Every structure is written in structure tokens, then in C-alpha cells.
Amino acid sequence: MRMLQSYKSRKYLLRILLSITFLMVIVLFLSSTVLHYSSETRVVQMQKEANRKVMNQINHNITYMQEIVKNQALTIYNDNQIFFTLMSSQQQEDMDIINGMRLMSKAQEASNFLHSIMIYNGHMDKIYALGDLADNMKDHDKAEAMAVMLQNETKIPQMQLLPMNFSKRENSVDFFSLVIYESFSDKNDHESALVLNVKPEWIFDNLNAVNDFAIPGESDVFIIDQSGNLVLSGSEQNIPELNGLTEALSNHQSKNKDKFGFFSRSFGNSGKYMVSYMEMGVGGWNVISIQPYDAVLGGIYEMRMTSVYVIVCFLILSVAVSIIMAHKLYKPVEQMLAGIRTHAGEESDGMKRGKDELSYVTNVYSDMAQKLSLVTNEQDKQKNIIHNYHLRSIITGSSSYSQDGFRNCVEQNGLAIATDGVFLLVVIKIDNYADFIARTSENERRLYSFAISNIASEIMSPSPFRSETADMRSDHLVMILSVEAGTEAHYQDAVSHLKKLQEVVLSYYKLSLTMTISKFIPSHDSITEQYNLVLHNSMYKLILGKKEIITPDRVKTNNERFEYSFPADQEKKLIEAIKTNDLEAMESSAGLILAQVTAYHYDHILHGILHLVDIIKSTIRDINKNRIASVPVDLNALSRQVLEKETMEEIEQLIVQVCREIHEKLKDSEQDKNAVLMDAIKEIVATNYDDMNLSLQAIATMLRMTPAYVGRMFKQSEFVSVGEYINEVRLSHALEYLETKNFSIKEIMELVGYLNESTFFKLFKKKYGVTPKEYRLKRNIS
């Protein structure tokens, strides 16, 4: 039990044992299978060739025996003393007959294979028989039966051995007969015939002699005719079902064109047999050899059982050897496991975590590698933090370092900076930084910064510059390039490498970079001053665009232009365009303002942009003060939106978008304003239609607008004048009073705001076709 428990705990050892044993079993099984199959195939092939030779020998023997019988028959037939005495149509003397019978008897005695000799005289209808068919013999009735056959009009085939079974026994032959008629014509006209009957034992002995070369007692060689009837057999007890054999033989002969054939088949309950056959030249017979399949392959089966015993013994021996080998192979593994447990501080059952010893080792190694990786990453992180700290200290406080202090800082921290050379500072900014912040986490941004730093080092390595890149923990990186001596060629070389850096980062990370490079810095103590200047110059991405390399020469003009003058004429045009809702003028004025302010210092550019925003905001506020309905444009966030844009092109697009929004809102507001004005006028008329002083002038006074503007706007909107609309309302109310009230015409006229009766009557008849009195009269009549 302890040994079994030991093996269960040593899973790798158990796997080795099982693998070796399984491999040996597979090899032995495959090799024995191939061996037995090839042996069986070879034995069957050898038996086939042996049977072919037997068939040939049987065919030769039977053909030769037939020739012997034929020659004997011809000898007797050609003996005139026998032929004319016994077969002629003339009556013969008794002595001649006796003499002929004596000669025929000598011929029979000379041939021990003859069963009997018979002459049938068809002319006289007499039988002359010797041997077992003689008159005084028990088989004489068979002679008479033979005579009947010879009397048939159709002749029996001549000069062939024919099996005769007059006793009617199944699968039996009384004798083989060879017949010679007087003539060889097909028609029998009472012809005489000579018949030689051969003992079947003579042929049986030949078959048995050949059969002794096969498998005595279990195989058989026999002959069947064309109809499938059994002609001759050496041992009938070994013959399988004859009908099944005949059918199988017929099927195989139909596919096989050779005289010799060989096949294997099971016949009913008789088992499986090997069948060999050959077509003979005697009477259309087929000689067939039947051999039990198991008897033929008995030696192979015995060898198979012997090999099984050998394999089992070998397997037992090999398992014992494999156990010894596995223990020797496992010993180093066991020593390794002991060492791992000792160093890992685990007990012996620590292996339970894995499926086997190798899994346990893998798990331990994985844990140790993970711990080592954490320690290494932490060390690298600390090292990078210190490295980046010193770079940032040099960039932001270079003046605090003496020459020796600067050199010591570079050497002690392994910074790739040439302390005795000149320097270039490059500020690297990621374009569309707000979107970049929105779609990345802080860790991802650190990885991107790390990747850009590594790519920069790789790209600058073939150049004469030494490079270091610092992450300034804001929106930019700073690269310090140092070289022994700074020339214009070196400067252009640095710019070309920076362009390559932009292309690589864009290709791999889909990030667009804008870089700002300083002029050559002669000493380390000016690095911080130049850093502030380069950082300022990087702001000019606003006018130069993204994915650019900004050099001091490209922004020199802007930096020197400190005087500032906002384009007042364009300011007035912009205000007027907004008030008049002229979109084309708005876009043109805003574009000209932006184009003019880009020529100034960055501070003035920023001031000009914000001033442009204030102009738009204040103009909209002024418009809303004098309007009934305010323009629904939200410009509160416009200043912030402008400051978030990175280029002047983006700012211009934003301003154009705002102008178009103002235009649409003002357009909609004008339509809303007209609708409000119309509603106000209609409400005043509906409320004050009974006031005789109600007119366009009175309504304009109420609305604090000029009568001309109110009249024009109402006419454009309603297609009638204000006065006509007042009359429409008054007359409709007068009609209502006539239909529902019993007031007098004069009272109704005053109620609806008319002072002059003739004017009222005239307007009423013009609208309704009748005077007020006539309308009331008709109404009352109807």
C-alpha cells in the first residue's frame, strides 16, 4: 500500500512507466499483426500454387487414362475376328462367336482397369458381354439398360469416358463407359456398338493418390460435370453443400477467364473453405480441390498463439525492465524537486497544486518569474523616475548646475548628453490633445510617451547627436539633443530626423506630432531659458498648423512684432453685417480680422481672437435689447471653445459656424418677430374695435413704432391694410349683432366703432351686398 501511494504521488514517474509500457504494447501489437497477416497471405499464396500443380497433374492423369481406354477400344474394334463375328448384320456360326468372345476375353484380362466389355449387335438385337455384365453375373441388368441406351436414335457421345449410374445411387458412379459405333454419323440406324466399361476405383485411386499431397482426412479432390453434377470424389464426407459450391464456382468462372481458379468462401454451416478448380479436357469436367481454411492455416494459428505467449512473457519482462529504467530516469527529477521544495519553502505536499511533477515545477517557476518580474518592473520604474527627474531638473533648472555639477549629474545617471558640446531642445506635442486625453487612460498615455521616447532614440542613434527625452508630465515631451559642434548642416540633419520621427509615430500609432526646435544652445546653463522660449514658440502651432516642425526662423517675425492694432474698419463691418444679417459679409469680415491678427506676437493674436469673440457677443446683446423676441444664440461657451482649438484654421471654422448659426437664428427671429407683430396688431383690433378713434396711427403709437413700418409689415404679412382689417372686424361683429341682438341699426353702428352712418351703410353693403336694414328684414322673413 505504501508503494502504491508512492507511485500515486510520483505522477511523472507513473507517466514514464505508462508511456514505455504503452509504447511496447503498441509496437508488439503492430509487429505481430503485420507478421501474422503477411504469413497468412503467404501461406494462402503457396497453397494456391500447390493446388495449381495438383490440378494440372490430375488433368494429365485423367487425360492419359482416357487415352489408354481409347487405344484399348480401338484395338478391339479393329480386330476383324471380333468385329465381323459379333457386330456384323450376318448370321454367324456358333464357333465363330465363341472364338470372338474368347479374343475379347483375352483383351479384358490384359487390362485390369476394365470393369467389363460389351458388344451390342443392333442388327440382331443381341448382347455379348464379359466381366460383371455377363449373362450369369448380377449386373447383367445393367447390360440390358445399356443396350436400351444404345438403341436410341441419338447416339451416345463416342470415344469419351461417360459416367454411368444405373443403380441410381446419389453422387455415385457404377462405371465409366467408352462407346464406339459402327459409324461416326449422328443418326443411329440399328448400328452395333462396342462398349468398354472402366472400373471407377481405377480413377478413385488416382484421385486419392494426388489427394494425399494435400491434407489427408480433411481435404478432397473431386470432379463435376458441366451441369454441376458430381462425377467422381475421393472422399464425399468432406464435400460441402453441392448447390452452394456449384453456384460459387459458376460466379467465379464468369469473372475468371483462365482455366485455373482459386477463391475462399463459407458454405452454410460447413465453415470456410479454400476452393481450387481447373477446367479439364475430358468431357467438359471440372476438377475441384476443397480444403478447410482452418486446416490450411492451422500452423499459422498455432504460431499466433505461440507468439501471444511470447509477447505476454516479453511484456511482463519489459514492464520489469521499464520500472528499473523509469526509476533511473526519475532520479534527477526527484533531486530537482527536493531542491525546489527547499528553496521555495514548501512541504512535500506542495506538489498537489499541479497535475504532476512537471506541472508543479512549472507553477513554482511561474510564481518565481512573476515575483521577479514585479521586482524588476519596480526597479525599472524607480530607475525611469529618477532618470526622468534629473532630465526635468536640467530642463527646468539648468542655471542651478555648475559645469562640474552638470557633468556629474549626466555621468552618475547615465544620461546620453554630451556635456562639452552644444545643445538643441525639441518640444514634442501630440496634436488633437483634447481628443487624445478623452480616449486614453493615464497608463496608456505613459506608454505612448515611452514609445515616442524609444523611437526617438532609435531614429537619432545613426546621427551625430546624442538624445534624451523627458516626459514633462503635461501636454508635451522635451528632447535634448547634444553634439560636439553645432553647424548648419547638423541643424538640418536634426530637422530631417525629426521629420522621420513624425512619420514613424504616425505610421505605427496614428498620432500626429508637432515639434518645436530651439537654436543651438552653447552652454548648459541656458537650457532652461531656451526651454521657456521654445515652449512659447510651440504656441505658434496656432498659425503654422499641425504636424509641423517650428524653428526660430519661422516665428521670428511674429516674436518681434509687439505693436498691436485691431482692424477697426473690419470690426465696424462685422457689427453691421451681424445687425443686417448679411452672412457673406460676416464671414468675410471675420476672416480678414483673423488673417490680420496672425501677423502679430502670440499674445496679441490671442487677444485679437478673444476680442473678435467679444465683438460677436456684444453685437448679439445689442440686437436683443431692441427686439421683442431675443435671438436664441448661446455664445457663453464661445471663448472657451476658441481657446480649445489648436490652429487658426480650426478657430476660423468655429467662427464661420457661429456666424452661420447667428444668420439662421436671425432669419428665424425675423419671421417670429413678424408673427408676434401681427398677433399684437390683431389682438389690439379685437380688443378695441368699438373705439371710434382706432386707426393705424393709434396702433403704431401703442406699439411704439412708426405707422409706415406697421402698415408695411401688416400689408406684407396679411395682404390687407390695417384699416381694411379694422373694417373687417367691425363689420363681422355688426353682422353678429344683427343676427343675435335686437339693437337698433344706430346702436349697432356705435357698438362696432362707426361714427358716420353713411360710411357704415356703404361699407356693410360693399361687403354683404345689402344694407344693414335689408339684411335684418330678410333674416326676419326667413
pTM, entire model: 0.48
Residue 213's pLDDT band, with cuts at 50, 70 and 90, is low
Q: Which residues contact 499 (CB under 8 A, 6 or more apart)?
A: 549
Q: Which residues contact 630 (CB under 8 A, 6 or more apart)?
A: 624, 669
The DSSP code for 9 is H
Q: Is the pLDDT of residue 572 over 70?
A: yes
Percentage above 90 pLDDT, the chain: 16
In this predicted model, what pLDDT tens digit does every residue of 53-78 receive, in sequence order?
877 877 777 788 888 888 888 888 88
CA distances from 734 to 262, 688, 746, 748 (A): 132, 14, 11, 6
The DSSP code for 156 is P
Q: Report helix, strand or coil for 168.
A: coil
State how far the Cα of 544 lies from the Cα of 546, in Å rounded to an integer.
7
Residue 628 is predicted with a pLDDT of 57
Mean pLDDT (whole number) for 143-154: 84
User: What single string gives the DSSP state of each residue in 308-367?
Assistant: HHHHHHHHHHHHHHHHHHHHHHHHHHHHHHHHHHHHHT--GGGGGGSSSHHHHHHHHHHH
Residue 72 is predicted with a pLDDT of 82
Q: Report helix, strand or coil for 646.
A: coil
Neighbours of 379 (CB within 10 A): 10
Q: Is the pLDDT of residue 517 over 90?
A: yes
Which residues on adjacent β-strands are paired with residue 224? 230, 286
State how far the Cα of 777 lies from the Cα of 525, in Å rounded to an integer.
112
Residue 455 is predicted with a pLDDT of 93
Neighbours of 550 (CB within 10 A): 23
State how far the Cα of 475 lies from the Cα of 206, in Å rounded to an integer.
116
State how far the Cα of 682 lies from the Cα of 552, in Å rounded to an integer.
69
Residue whose grid cell is 524653428: 551
10-14, 627-631, 651-655, 689-693 — which is least confidently predicted? Answer: 10-14
Residue 1 is predicted with a pLDDT of 46
Neighbours of 134 (CB within 10 A): 19
Residue 661 is predicted with a pLDDT of 86
Q: Report helix, strand or coil for 777.
A: helix
Amino acid code (one letter) for 13: L
State how far the Cα of 752 lies from the Cα of 734, in Å rounded to an integer.
6
Residue 129's pLDDT band, with cuts at 50, 70 and 90, is confident
Residue whose grid cell is 344694407: 771
Q: Is the dihedral of CA 710, 714, 715, 717 positive or negative?
A: positive
Q: Which residues contact 684 (CB under 8 A, 6 or more apart)?
A: 694, 699, 702, 703
The DSSP code for 637 is T
Residue 164's pLDDT band, with cuts at 50, 70 and 90, is confident
The DSSP code for 721 is -
For residue 475 the three cell numbers come to 501636454
Residue 705 is predicted with a pLDDT of 85
Of 152, 97, 161, 151, the C-alpha closest to 123 is: 151
State how far the Cα of 363 lies from the Cα of 344, in Å rounded to an integer.
11
Q: Report helix, strand or coil for 128.
A: strand
State how far the Cα of 726 lies from the Cα of 521, in Å rounded to an integer.
86
Residue 89's pLDDT band, with cuts at 50, 70 and 90, is confident
245-259, 416-430, 497-511, 701-715 — which is least confidently predicted? Answer: 245-259
Q: Is the dihedral of CA 72, 75, 81, 86 positive or negative?
A: positive
Length of the chain as a residue count:
782
Residue whose grid cell is 513624425: 502
For residue 272 the three cell numbers come to 470456410
Residue 310 is predicted with a pLDDT of 77
Residue 594 burial by Cβ neighbours in a 10 Å radius (0-12, 13-18, 19+): buried
C-alpha 772, offset from chain centre:
94
Of 99, 304, 112, 121, the C-alpha closest to 195 is: 121
Of 613, 653, 657, the C-alpha closest to 635 is: 613
State how far the Cα of 113 lies from the Cα of 128, in Å rounded to an integer.
19
Residue whose grid cell is 490671442: 606
For the range 352-356, what are the long-range contacts, defined as Cβ-Cβ under 8 Å and sequence gap of 24 or more? 355/11, 356/11, 356/12, 356/15
State how far the Cα of 65 lies from the Cα of 615, in Å rounded to an integer.
140
Mean pLDDT over the full length of the chain: 81
Residue whose grid cell is 523509469: 326
Amino acid code (one letter) for 755: L
Amino acid code (one letter) for 211: N
In this predicted model, what pLDDT tens digit does every residue of 518-558 receive, in sequence order?
999 999 888 999 999 999 999 999 899 999 999 999 999 99
Q: Is the pLDDT of residue 280 over 80?
A: no
Neighbours of 17 (CB within 10 A): 19
Of 331, 524, 519, 507, the C-alpha closest to 409 is: 524
Q: Is the pLDDT of residue 373 over 70?
A: yes
Neighbours of 719 (CB within 10 A): 8
Percentage above 70 pLDDT, the chain: 86
For the range 585-588, what are the long-range contacts, defined as Cβ-Cβ under 8 Å and sequence gap of 24 or more? 586/659, 586/662, 586/663, 587/656, 587/659, 587/660
Residue whose grid cell is 526519475: 330
State how far the Cα of 656 lies from the Cα of 663, in Å rounded to an integer.
10
In this predicted model, what pLDDT tens digit does every residue of 214-228 receive, in sequence order?
555 566 777 777 666
Mean pLDDT (whole number) for 756-773: 89
Number of helices (H), then strands (E), belonging to the chain: the values are 28, 15
State how far the Cα of 750 lies from the Cα of 748, in Å rounded to an integer.
5
Rg, C-alpha atoms of the chain: 67
Mean pLDDT (whole number) for 29-41: 78
State how far the Cα of 586 lies from the Cα of 576, in Å rounded to an integer.
9
Task: Using the CB atoms, write b or e for 70-86: b if 16+ within 10 Å.
Answer: bebbeebbebeebbebb
Task: Using the CB atoms, write b or e for 171-207: b if 16+ within 10 Å.
Answer: eebbbbbbbbbbeeeeebeebbbbbbbbbbebbeebb
Residue 733 is predicted with a pLDDT of 92
Residue 423 is predicted with a pLDDT of 92
User: Does 586 or 61 have the greater pLDDT score?
Assistant: 586
At 576, which helix (H) or strand (E)?
helix 568-579
Of 72, 40, 22, 344, the C-alpha closest to 198 is: 72
Q: Is the dihedral of CA 297, 299, 305, 311 positive or negative?
A: negative
State how far the Cα of 368 lies from the Cα of 372, in Å rounded to an integer.
6
State how far the Cα of 443 lies from the Cα of 484, in Å rounded to an integer.
36
C-alpha 500, offset from chain centre:
40
